[in-house]
């Protein structure tokens, strides 16, 4: 029972330390703002589309325009009206 409580407490601490990192997609053109982030394990990247169409797709630095096999891909989002 004690071990289970310690594990739950440790998991709770990790969740408390996790950060939501906002990333704007398409604000000002074909770009992400900020252009790079440093995320710790457990952090959440929150993508918000400012204009479109755009996608968020995992790739490599060597081939940035080719999606990674099995990687993250949001699909194409089309924004029809601007958000204020």
Domain that holds residue 78: 19-84
Instruction: Supply the pLDDT for residue 52.
Output: 75
Instruction: Supply the pLDDT for residue 39.
Output: 92
Does residue 13 sit within a domain? no
Instruction: Supply the pLDDT for residue 54.
Output: 81
Q: How far apart are CA 72 and CA 20, in angstroms?
A: 18
Does residue 6 sit within a domain? no
Does residue 9 sit within a domain? no
Instruction: Supply the pLDDT for residue 80.
Output: 74
Instruction: Supply the pLDDT for residue 53.
Output: 83
Mean pLDDT (10-residue bins), the chain, 84 residues:
43 68 88 90 90 84 87 84 58
Does the pTM of the predicted model rise above 0.85?
no
Q: How far apart are CA 33 and CA 23, in angstroms?
A: 6
Tell me how many domains the chain contains: 1
Does residue 10 sit within a domain? no
Does residue 32 sit within a domain? yes
Q: What is the 3-state secondary structure (H, E, C) of 8-24?
A: HHHHHHHHHHCCEEEEE
Does residue 2 sit within a domain? no
Does residue 66 sit within a domain? yes
């Amino acid at each position: 029972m004690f071990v289970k409580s310690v594990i739950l407490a440790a998991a709770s601490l990790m969740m408390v330390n996790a950060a939501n990192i906002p990333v704007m997609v398409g604000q000002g053109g074909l770009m992400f703002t900020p252009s790079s982030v440093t995320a710790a394990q457990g952090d959440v990247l929150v993508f918000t589309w400012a204009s479109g169409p755009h996608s968020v797709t995992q790739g490599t630095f060597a081939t940035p325009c080719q999606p990674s096999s099995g990687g993250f891909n949001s699909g194409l989002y089309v924004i029809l009206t601007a958000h204020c």
